[in-house]
Amino acid sequence: MKKVFAVFEEHIPAILMIVTSLMIFIQVVLRYVFGQSIVWAEEFARYGIVWFVFLGSSLAVKQGAHASVDVLVKLLPGVARKGVEILALAISIAYCLMVTRFGLDLVFRVRAMGNITPTLEIPMFIPYLAIPFGCALMAIRYSMELIAKIKAPMEK
């Protein structure tokens, strides 16, 4: 399970970022030096970055890198602090599951329309699939954090 998460959280986003950056660099050089361009490069970069963000968000959960305001929480005594942290994780899970659910609805509606992207000519639902996929991964990560928080000994 950890290897699967490593692929989706670390490897694929890293590859997407590298390939997208190279594609944008090549596009700039071709456009401004040679007066040519790759027609599909900008669309590829746009969708690559979207997938990078949603897949990378799961890694951010694992590393505790999402923005949070915890000034007041740190002032609370151990039991209250743990309770608030557990509540925050539960709300995060609920939010991610809600976005996953509505994201899937969106993907199914876009798929039913049969649209394709303008230049890559791939089904339009594939870029939209990043939303439920990334949020589902985040929900799993938040669930793992919640279990770890519940099992953790009380802080003083």
Band the pLDDT of 1: cuts 50, 70, 90. low
Rounded to the nearest integer, the mean pLDDT of the chain is: 91
Q: Looking at the predicted structure, is the pLDDT value of residue 3 above 80?
A: no
Go through 27-65 and write b for each residue having 16 or more CB atoms within 10 A of its CB, e for each that does not. Answer: beeeeeeeeeeeebbebbbebbbbbbebbbbbbebbeee
Across 56-82, average pLDDT: 84
Residue 77 above 90 pLDDT? no
Per-residue confidence (pLDDT) for residue 140, from 0 to 100: 93
pLDDT > 70? residue 156: no
pLDDT tens track for 79-90: 888 999 999 999
pLDDT of amino acid 79: 87
Q: Is the pLDDT of residue 65 over 90?
A: no
Residue 40, SS3 per DSSP: coil
User: Does residue 21 carry a pLDDT above 90?
Assistant: yes
Res 76: pLDDT: 83
pTM of the predicted model, to two decimals? 0.87
Q: For the segment 117-155, what is each residue's pLDDT rounded down to a tens digit?
A: 999 999 999 999 999 999 999 999 999 999 999 998 877
Per-residue DSSP letters for 49-97?
Answer: HHHHHHHHHHHHHHHT-S----HHHHHS-HHHHHHHHHHHHHHHHHHHH
